[in-house]
Amino acid sequence: MTGTDQLDDILDRLRRAGGRITPTRRALVTALLDYDGHPTAEGLAAAVQARRPEVHQTTIYRILDDLERLGVIEHTHLGHGPAVYHLSESAHPHVVCERCGTVIEVGRGAFDALARRLQAEHDFVLHPGHFAVTGRCRHCAVE
Ligand SMILES: [Zn+2]
Ligand SMILES: [Zn+2]
Ligand SMILES: [Zn+2]
């Protein structure tokens, strides 16, 4: 899928979810598609404002909330800092090294066994993507 197809696909989904496509919403989804890594709200605002300086940061934050409510994007807490955003279709759980901060994106099914166990034993439905699970990375574990 090319970048443009992916953008159209996401905008389609937004429309089907009842959301309007405004130039700023489009600019925000484009910024998220183009972003290399894990953008915070502030990082996304800067990316949108690089092309559309007239857009206020508060407007961008409100659109982030709207898109999240419409199921197009999701936020994740990787640590103590601000949340980061993913497109829902490419969202995944993370593990983070509590010593050096290295972030590892793990497969969607990485917590399946734990999720089944929590469901069976506690009637608890796990959402492993919302917060990162912490531990020690390969380099920090051996000391
Ligand atoms: Zn949250
Ligand atoms: Zn580490
Ligand atoms: Zn990620």
Residue 38 Cα to ligand 3 midpoint, Å, equals 6
Contact between 50 and 30 (Cβ < 8 Å): no
CA 8 to each of CA 13, 72, 127: distance values in angstroms, whole numbers, following the listed order = 9, 12, 28
Query: Residue range 107-123: average pLDDT?
Result: 95
Residue 85 Cα to ligand 1 midpoint, Å, equals 10
Residue 11 Cα to ligand 2 midpoint, Å, equals 38
> Quick one: what percent of the chain has pLDDT higher than 70?
97
Residues 51-101 have pLDDT tens digits of 999 999 999 999 999 999 999 999 999 999 999 999 988 889 999 999 999
Residue 20 Cα to ligand 3 midpoint, Å, equals 26
For the CA of 36, the nearest ligand = 3
Domain spans of the chain, in order of start: 3-88, 94-141
CA 27 to each of CA 34, 115, 136: distance values in angstroms, whole numbers, following the listed order = 10, 36, 37
Average pLDDT, the chain: 92
Residues 123-140 have pLDDT tens digits of 999 999 999 999 999 999
- Residue range 94-141 forms a domain whose CATH class is alpha beta
Residue 142 Cα to ligand 2 midpoint, Å, equals 10
pLDDT at res. 90: 85
Q: Give dist(CA 89, CA 131) in Å, integer.
A: 17
Q: How is domain 3-88 classified at the architecture level of CATH? A: Orthogonal Bundle (1.10)
